[in-house]
Structure 1
Amino acid sequence: MTTPARERTRHEIVRQAMRLFQDRGYGAVSLQDIASAAGCSKATVLYHFNGKPAVLAAVLEPAGADLAELVAAAEQLAPDEAQEYTIGRFTEMAVHYRGVIDVLQELIPVIEEMPEFAQLVADGIRMQRFMAGSDEPLELDLAGFAINGLLGACRRPGERTDDEMRRLCDIALRRLLRPN
């Protein structure tokens, strides 16, 4: 049974890890850095998580859950409706999870090698298929290009307001993926 104090400690570890990963990058942050920022010992971090990838998984968990929900909902729709729905939800998620995206960008070259993120990767690929609106290779590549470009733009939260970012994502995706 988890006590409120343990839950608060776990939450603080995740919160501080997110801040550190965003400020310094995942590779530059140690478990000791996370523990110090959270006001606990490294042993406490290891009590809650079995290593730095597990801490990262907890940081990414809300975004991963939203992505899984997006994909599950899109699967229930006709292709055109699924594409429209996915564009709208992606736009909202890209803005909402700007900090998480910043952390993920560093990991993209190696994330497929990290078993903790297999479902996140699989759901991202499924989302790309829905955004493409078909399984045609060129359309899939175009959707991937649009997703990666917009995620890169979302990394720098100070450059555009959330509303400006929503507008950019929505217009770009519709022009690239729904030109008619």
Structure 2
Amino acid sequence: MTTTPARERTRHEIVRQAMGLFQDRGYSAVSLQDIASAAGCSKATVLYHFNGKAAVLAAVLEPAAADLAALVAAADQLSRAAAQEFAIGEFTDLAVRYRGVMDVVQELIPFIQEMPELALLVADGIRLKGFLAGSDDPLEQDLAGFALNGLTAECRHADGRTDEELHRLCEAALNRLFRPS
């Protein structure tokens, strides 16, 4: 039987508690001391594991960011039309799977580009927007940005929808916007 070292357990608990706090209160309203108290450790322990609150946030967002990076890398290997279709389905899956993360990200939109810890996530989000647009047309690009913001907000406030219902809604919305019949 293998056990997880105490340092890894502590780091994991900090990330887990931070996610809950960011969802409940919003990123801006949570302090490092709040995270430490929730995780049952000192603020110094949080700072031992992370170089500030933005680094904690990056760790919270890391699984979703890694999946988004994989989506973008896979879409990059496809034709424009195939990449668009792939991006629509895969983004919908990510948006539903990471509903809680979407809640946190939505608050960050106005200042996310000022956070160097999230630079790769932002870059991949911009590339995703291009894949969804399926075109270099500025109007289509703006529409894709609008769709991304709207769907992240819908996932944030899903009004009691199940994951399956939310998935169908998001996929239908993206298909109607970008692949009208």
TM-score class, shorter-chain normalisation, is over 0.9
| 1:127 matched residue in structure 2 | 128
- Asked if 1:118 corresponds to 2:115, the answer is no
In the TM superposition, 1:134-153 aligns within 5 A as 134-153=135-154
Task: Report the AA paired with residue 152 of structure 1.
Answer: A
Structure 2: tracts of 5 or more residues without a match: none
How many residue pairs match? The answer is 178
| 1:4 matched residue in structure 2 | 5
Tell me how far 1:141 sits from its aligned partner: 1.0
Residues in 1 aligned to 2:161 and 2:151: alpha-carbon distance in whole angstroms: 12
In the TM superposition, 1:65-76 aligns within 5 A as 65-76=66-77
| 1:36 matched residue in structure 2 | 37
Tell me how far 1:159 sits from its aligned partner: 2.3
Tell me how far 1:166 sits from its aligned partner: 0.2
Q: Deviations over 1:15-37 (max 9, x none)?
A: 00000000000011011110110
Residues in 1 aligned to 2:158 and 2:15: alpha-carbon distance in whole angstroms: 20
Tell me how far 1:157 sits from its aligned partner: 4.3
Higher alpha-carbon deviation: 122-131 or 139-148: 139-148
Residues in 1 aligned to 2:146 and 2:160: alpha-carbon distance in whole angstroms: 21
Tell me how far 1:158 sits from its aligned partner: 5.0
Moved over 3 A (4+): none
Q: Deviations over 1:30-77 (max 9, x none)?
A: 111101100111111010001000000000101110111000000000
**Structure 1 length normalisation: TM-score?**
0.96
- Asked if 1:85 corresponds to 2:101, the answer is no
Tell me how far 1:94 sits from its aligned partner: 0.3
Q: Deviations over 1:56-112 (max 9, x none)?
A: 000010111011100000000011110000000000000001101101111100000
**Structure 2 length normalisation: TM-score?**
0.96
Q: Deviations over 1:101-151 (max 9, x none)?
A: 101111100000111111111100000000111111111111111111111
Task: Report the AA paired with residue 136 of structure 2.
Answer: D
Identity between Structure 1 and Structure 2 (%): 75
| 2:21 matched residue in structure 1 | 20
Residues in 1 aligned to 2:147 and 2:51: alpha-carbon distance in whole angstroms: 35
Secondary structure, aligned partner of 1:12: helix
Task: Report the AA paired with residue 171 of structure 1.
Answer: A
| 2:98 matched residue in structure 1 | 97
In the TM superposition, 1:57-72 aligns within 5 A as 57-72=58-73
Structure 1: tracts of 5 or more residues without a match: none
In the TM superposition, 1:148-163 aligns within 5 A as 148-157=149-158, 159-163=160-164
Task: Report the AA paired with residue 56 of structure 1.
Answer: L
Residues in 1 aligned to 2:97 and 2:159: alpha-carbon distance in whole angstroms: 14
Residues in 2 aligned to 1:28 and 1:151: alpha-carbon distance in whole angstroms: 20
